Structures are given as structure tokens and as C-alpha cells.
């Protein structure tokens, strides 16, 4: 059994059923949480960097966290949706190699557990105004976390089980790009964990290699082999992912965000942010202020 896959916790944000119209038309959406859709009426589209999917009745769609996509409804769309955060001890996302929207045909069981999740988690829809002046997003997210804390143990376990079961359908799908590789060495996993909890601090490859008792060049090659990217690129990606989370869930300034994720200057932070996301932090902030009613 792959214990790394099971050592994850999915924190429910929203679950609801909505009837959408042409207002559901958003470009360059990139969020720190997952979205799952089951469509029971109408049609629309989801497009990623390299993928365009038609939203059709009877299908389930997954948008992994930090996946850049465009969402559009031409007329009407009946949609069950689930939004949730992923937490893992090693900081490695289950879908880190699959940052594209995915689609599978829904089974009767899939539909039943979508509806079951909504039943055991009532009142978890998005009912707020999309005017950012009416609410503070850090309060908004804390409110839903508090709802999770109030769940009974039975509901928590059932919620986790349903989310995992739905995600497993995509892991078995041909759309999932399974990357075959040997087990990740403990030195790399330890470095990843260290990076995750020290994003605010100075992170140099030479220091990570020293912690692993390895030469910097060898450590970098080993990291690249198992993580698919160089250590410094990985550090920047995780810092920007954290920045996106802070921008969406808090109301601190961009200068403060830059400091919180380990950048000495806001201009350099902005440069790296745009390089990774395609948007400046300012544009990303303005854009996401209108996503609170996003299904």
C-alpha cells in the first residue's frame, strides 16, 4: 500500500447544487483548492493550458489545485460542485503532474455520493455577495474551517471517504498521467518538508544539500530526478502557491504577502509571480475578488 497517497487530508470548503447562467464566465482562474463538478443539465466549457473540455450532462470534472483554467456557460448549466483544500505531510500534491482539467463519465454511485456529501454537509454553498467590500476573505475561510471543526467524527470520516472515492476515479482514469519512478529518497522528502515549513526564510540549495549531507550538484540532480524540477524552481513554485493562498484567503497587502513567502522585495516577488502564473499579483488579486460566487 502506498502510504504517501493515504497520508492526505482534504478540507471541505463548499458543496452545493447550483443553476448557472451566462454570468458564469471567468478567464484565467487559478485557485489554491480543488474543484469537482457533476453536470446534470445544460453545457459549458472548461479550458486549461493545453486542454479544452465540454461540460456535459452525466460527466464529472476535476480541476486540481493551482490549475490555470477558463470557465464558461453559454446558456444554462446545472452543476453539483465540491471545493476543498488538500493537505499532505510531504507537501507533494496528489495531482502535481496533472495540472489540467480532467473528465470522466459518472457512474450511478458517483452521482449518489455527490448527493450524499451535500446531504451530510448542509449549508456549505456560496451565498455571499461578490463585492469584496462586504466581507473579508480570511473571515470567510475561517468560517468554513470552523464548520469542519464542528463536524462529528462520523461526518468527518464520511466526508473524507467521499472526496477520496471521487478522486480515485480520476487516478484510475486514462486522463491521469501516472509517472513511474522509484520511491522518493528520504533526503528529498525531508528537503521538500523543510521547504514547505520554511518558505518565509532564506532557502538556498547549498544549505538544503548540506542538511542532506550531499554535494549540491548531486543533491540538485537527485531532486530533479524525483521531483521533476530543480530545487530553486520548486522553491519558487511553492512560494507562489502559498502567495496565491494568502491573496485569496486574507486581506494583507502584497508587500506583506511577499515577505510572508520569503521575497525581500515586492518587485522581485511580482516578477516571479507573473512568470509562474501568467498574472501579476495585483491582477490576480483583483480577479479573485470576483470569484466568491464561483461554482
pLDDT in tens, 13-62: 889 999 999 989 888 888 888 999 999 999 999 998 888 999 999 999 99
Query: What's the rounded Cα separation, in Å, for the pair 10 and 94?
Result: 11
**Closest by CA position to 166, among listed 48, 82, 93, 95:** 82
Query: What's the rounded Cα separation, in Å, for the pair 211 and 231?
Result: 14
| Residue range 186-288 in CATH 1.10.10.60 | yes
Domain residues of the chain, as ranges? Answer: 3-171, 186-288
CATH of domain 3-171: 2.60.120.10
Query: What's the rounded Cα separation, in Å, for the pair 115 and 230?
Result: 42
Q: How confident is the model at residue 182 (pLDDT cuts 50, 70, 90)?
A: low
Report the pLDDT value the prediction gives residue 139, as an integer from 0 to 100.
Answer: 53
What grid cell was written down for 76? 444554462
**Closest by CA position to 181, among listed 153, 211, 223, 214:** 223
Whether 3-171 shares its CATH topology with 186-288 is answered no
* CA dihedral of residues 262, 264, 270, 276 (deg, nearest 10): -40
Angle at 43 between CA 102 and CA 169, to 5 degrees: 25
Q: How confident is the model at residue 155 (pLDDT cuts 50, 70, 90)?
A: very high
Report the pLDDT value the prediction gives residue 72, as an integer from 0 to 100.
Answer: 93
The stretches of the chain forming alpha helices (DSSP H) are: 3-6, 108-120, 137-150, 153-171, 186-197, 205-211, 216-227, 231-249, 254-260, 266-277, 281-288
What is the arithmetic mean of pLDDT over 137-150? 68
What grid cell was written down for 242? 502559498
What grid cell was written down for 88? 499532505
What is the arithmetic mean of pLDDT over 117-139? 63
Q: Is 122 helix (H, G, I), strand (E, B) or coil?
A: coil
Report the pLDDT value the prediction gives residue 132, as an integer from 0 to 100.
Answer: 33
**Look-up: residue for cell 464548520?**
147
**How far is C-alpha 37 from the chain's CA centre?**
14
Query: What's the rounded Cα separation, in Å, for the pair 243 and 254?
Result: 9
Amino acid at each position: 500500500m502506498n502510504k504517501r497517497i493515504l497520508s492526505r487530508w482534504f478540507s471541505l470548503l463548499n458543496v452545493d447544487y447550483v443553476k448557472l447562467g451566462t454570468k458564469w464566465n471567468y478567464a484565467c482562474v487559478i485557485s489554491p483548492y480543488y474543484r469537482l463538478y457533476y453536470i446534470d443539465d445544460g453545457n459549458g466549457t472548461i479550458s486549461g493550458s493545453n486542454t479544452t473540455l465540454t461540460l456535459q450532462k452525466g460527466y464529472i470534472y476535476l480541476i486540481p489545485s493551482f490549475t490555470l483554467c477558463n470557465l464558461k456557460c453559454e446558456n444554462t448549466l446545472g452543476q453539483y460542485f465540491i471545493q476543498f483544500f488538500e493537505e499532505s505531510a510531504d507537501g507533494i500534491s496528489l495531482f502535481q503532474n496533472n495540472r489540467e482539467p480532467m473528465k470522466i463519465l459518472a457512474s450511478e454511485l458517483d452521482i449518489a455520493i455527490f448527493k450524499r456529501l451535500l446531504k451530510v454537509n448542509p449549508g456549505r454553498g456560496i451565498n455571499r455577495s461578490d463585492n469584496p467590500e462586504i466581507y473579508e476573505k480570511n473571515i470567510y475561510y475561517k468560517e468554513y474551517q470552523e464548520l469542519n471543526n464542528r463536524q462529528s467524527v462520523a461526518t468527518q470520516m464520511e466526508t473524507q471517504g467521499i472526496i477520496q472515492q471521487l478522486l480515485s476515479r480520476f487516478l484510475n482514469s486514462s486522463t491521469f498521467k501516472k509517472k513511474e519512478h522509484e520511491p522518493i529518497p528520504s533526503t528529498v522528502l525531508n528537503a521538500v518538508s523543510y521547504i514547505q515549513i520554511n518558505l518565509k526564510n532564506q532557502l538556498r540549495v547549498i544549505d538544503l544539500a548540506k542538511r542532506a549531507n550531499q554535494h549540491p550538484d548531486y543533491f540538485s540532480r537527485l531532486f530533479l530526478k524525483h521531483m521533476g524540477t530543480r530545487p530553486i524552481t520548486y522553491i519558487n513554485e511553492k512560494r507562489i502557491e502559498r502567495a496565491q493562498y494568502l491573496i485569496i484567503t486574507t486581506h494583507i497587502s502584497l508587500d506583506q504577502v511577499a515577505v510572508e513567502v520569503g521575497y525581500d522585495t515586492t518587485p522581485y516577488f511580482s516578477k516571479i509571480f507573473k512568470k509562474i502564473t501568467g498574472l501579476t499579483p495585483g491582477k490576480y488579486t483583483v480577479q479573485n475578488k470576483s470569484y466568491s460566487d464561483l461554482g
